[in-house]
Amino acid sequence: MVDPEETTDEALASRASLGDNHAFDEITIRYQARVYRLACRLVGHDDAPDVMQEGFLSVYRNIASFRHESRFGTWLYR
C-alpha cells in the first residue's frame, strides 16, 4: 500500500528535486490538464502544447527552488 504522505504534490516535488524522474512524471500527469487549459486561455489551442512543454521544462529545471512555503500548485503557476 502506498503511503498518502509520499504522494502529496509537495512530497513528489521533494523527490523530483532529488532526481526522482518517476515523481516528476507523476507531477506532470497531475497538472497537465490544468496547465493545458491555462495555456489555451493565454495563447490559444494551436500554441498551447508548446507553451505547456516549455512550462513543464521550466518546472523541471527549477523544482529545487520549491521551498515548501506554499502549496506546490501555487508555486507551479508562478
50 near 58, Cβ under 8 Å?
no
Chain segment 10-68, per-residue pLDDT in tens: 999 999 999 999 999 999 999 999 999 999 999 999 999 999 999 999 999 999 999 99
Question: Quick one: 13 exposed, middle or buried, by C-beta within 10 A (0-12, 13-18, 19+)?
Answer: buried
> What number of CA atoms fall less than 13 Å from residue 25's CA on the CB side?
3
CATH assignment at residue 53: 1.10.1740.10
What domain range is 17 assigned to?
A: 4-76
**What is the model's pTM?**
0.86
pLDDT at site 17: 97
Number of structural domains the chain divides into: 1
